[in-house]
C-alpha cells in the first residue's frame, strides 16, 4: 500500500492559499479516480482507493501545517509502512510556478510541514515538490499564506489535473515517468491556452466552452 499525503492548513480562509496546494493535489486525485468520501482518522481525513493496481491511502492531516507529522506518523505506524511508500505533496518556494519535481529524502528548506514529518517518521519519504515561486525572503510568509493570483490560476488547475491523471505512476513506483508526463501535459495545456487567447484576440471564432468532466468543479473554482 502507498500513503499519499497532502500538506496544507485547515479552514476555508486557507483553502486557496499557495501553501495548500498539497491538499489540492490529493483532492484532485480523489476526484479523478473515484475515491470514496473523506472520513476522519489519524488526526486528519482519509480516503482509500486504487491507482492502477496499487492500493492507496490519501491523507490530509487535520492539524495545522507545523504539526502535520503527527497524523502521518500514526498512519505509518498503523500500516507498518516503509518510508519508500510514503509520498508527500507540498508547495515548493525554490521551484518556478507550475514546475513539479519528485525526490526522495533531502532537506526541508524551511518548510514547517516537512520539518514536522521528518521529526515524526524520518526523512527518507518521497516528496512531490509543486513550485509556487519565491517572492524574496522578506515576503515569504505573505506569499505562501495568500491565495493563488488570477495569473496563477491559468496553470494551477491544469497542473492539478495532470498530477491526478498521472498519479498511478507514483503508486506503481515510477516517479520519473510521473514527473516527465506532467511536464509534457502542462506544456501542451499552456500552448493550447496561448493559441486560444490569440484566436480570441483576432476575433476568428468564439472560444468554445469547455466540456464538463471530472475536473469541471476544479476549473470553476479557479475561475471564481
Which position has the grid cell 487567447? 197
Residue 8: how many CB atoms within 10 A of its CB? 26
Per-residue confidence band for 165, with pLDDT thresholds at 50, 70 and 90: very high
Contacts of residue 199, Cβ cutoff 8 Å, sequence gap at least 6: 205, 207
Tell me which of 14, 19, 33, 134 is the catalytic residue.
Answer: 19
Q: What's the chain's average pLDDT?
A: 87
Write out the three cell numbers for 42.
489519524
Average pLDDT value for residue range 51-74: 95
Contact yes or no for 112/28 (Cβ under 8 A):
no
Average pLDDT value for residue range 145-171: 92
User: Tell me: the pLDDT tens digits for 72-85?
Assistant: 999 999 999 999 99
CATH of domain 2-223: 3.40.50.1470
143 is catalytic: no
3-class DSSP state for residue 195? Answer: helix
Question: What is the length of the chain?
Answer: 224
Q: Which residue has the higher pLDDT, 5 or 149?
A: 5
Average pLDDT value for residue range 42-55: 95
Q: Which residue has the higher pLDDT, 196 or 134?
A: 134
Phi first, then psi, for residue 101 (nearest 5°) are -135, 145
Q: Which residue has the higher pLDDT, 60 or 208?
A: 60
Distance CA 157, CA 213 (A): 13
Contact yes or no for 94/132 (Cβ under 8 A):
no
Whether the model pTM is above 0.75? yes
Write out the three cell numbers for 128.
512531490
Which is nearest to 216 in space by CA: 12, 23, 32, 61? 32
Contact yes or no for 93/144 (Cβ under 8 A):
yes
Residue 193 has pLDDT above 80, yes or no: no
Q: Where are the domains of the chain?
A: 2-223
Q: Which helix (H) or strand (E) holds 127?
A: strand 126-131
Amino acid at each position: 500500500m502507498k500513503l499519499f499525503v497532502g500538506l496544507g492548513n485547515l479552514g476555508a480562509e486557507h483553502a486557496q492559499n499557495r501553501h495548500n496546494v498539497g491538499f489540492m493535489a490529493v483532492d484532485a486525485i480523489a476526484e479523478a479516480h473515484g475515491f470514496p468520501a473523506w472520513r476522519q482518522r489519524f488526526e486528519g481525513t482519509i480516503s482509500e482507493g486504487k491507482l492502477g493496481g496499487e492500493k492507496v491511502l490519501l491523507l490530509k492531516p487535520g492539524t495545522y501545517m507545523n504539526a502535520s507529522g503527527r497524523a502521518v506518523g500514526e498512519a505509518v505506524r498503523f500500516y507498518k509502512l516503509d518510508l519508500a511508500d510514503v509520498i508527500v505533496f507540498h508547495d515548493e518556494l525554490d521551484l518556478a510556478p507550475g514546475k513539479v519535481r519528485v525526490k526522495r529524502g533531502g532537506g526541508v528548506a524551511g518548510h514547517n510541514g516537512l520539518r514536522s514529518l521528518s521529526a515524526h517518521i524520518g526523512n527518507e519519504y518521497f516528496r512531490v515538490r509543486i513550485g509556487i515561486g519565491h517572492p524574496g525572503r522578506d515576503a515569504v510568509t505573505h506569499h505562501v499564506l495568500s491565495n493563488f493570483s488570477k495569473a496563477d490560476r491559468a496553470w494551477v488547475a491544469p497542473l492539478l489535473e495532470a498530477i491526478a491523471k498521472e498519479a498511478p505512476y507514483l503508486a506503481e513506483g515510477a516517479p520519473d515517468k510521473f514527473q516527465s508526463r506532467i511536464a509534457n501535459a502542462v506544456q501542451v495545456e499552456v500552448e493550447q491556452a496561448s493559441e486560444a487567447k490569440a484566436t480570441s484576440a483576432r476575433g476568428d471564432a468564439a472560444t468554445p466552452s469547455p466540456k464538463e468532466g471530472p475536473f469541471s468543479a476544479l476549473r470553476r473554482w479557479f475561475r471564481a
